[in-house]
Amino acid sequence: MYEIKVADEFSGAHNLRNYKGKCEALHGHNWKVEILLYGNTLDRQGMVMDFKELKDKVKNILSDLDHKYLNNLNYFKKKNPTSENIARFIHDRLAKVIKKKIRVSVWETTSSCASFYTR
């Protein structure tokens, strides 16, 4: 199995609904996002996917989150803007344009992250 990974980041604000604690109040993060693509085969150039092409697709998705109040985005009006749901949002958007196995990890802090992937 081959794997490639790219990382990027975005800044945004959110507050968690139905949560008792500090995170129910409006606050922000500088989220780090890691994208892992994997597969059993390589393309004609010997790559799972070109890094630049993957980075461009990720940057396009993250631009919809960057410097936004996530709770106001349509996707997060019904889903709580947790790191888990942010990972799922990014995964689902990326899966529409890349037909590979994808794992998305979203780091809320340097010591806390959530991931979403399909098998």
Compute the distance between CA of residue 84 and CA of residue 106 in angstroms, rounded to an integer: 8
Compute the distance between CA of residue 88 and CA of residue 74 in angstroms, rounded to an integer: 14
| Residue 23 appears among annotated catalytic residues | yes
| Residue 84 appears among annotated catalytic residues | no
Of 3, 23, 24, 53, which one is the catalytic site residue? 23
Laid out side by side, the sheet with 112-117 consists of 68-69, 2-14, 27-39, 101-109, 112-117
Of 9, 84, 108, 113, which one is the catalytic site residue? 108
Compute the distance between CA of residue 102 and CA of residue 116 in angstroms, rounded to an integer: 8
Of 3, 24, 27, 67, which one is the catalytic site residue? 67
Q: Which residues are catalytic?
A: 23, 67, 108
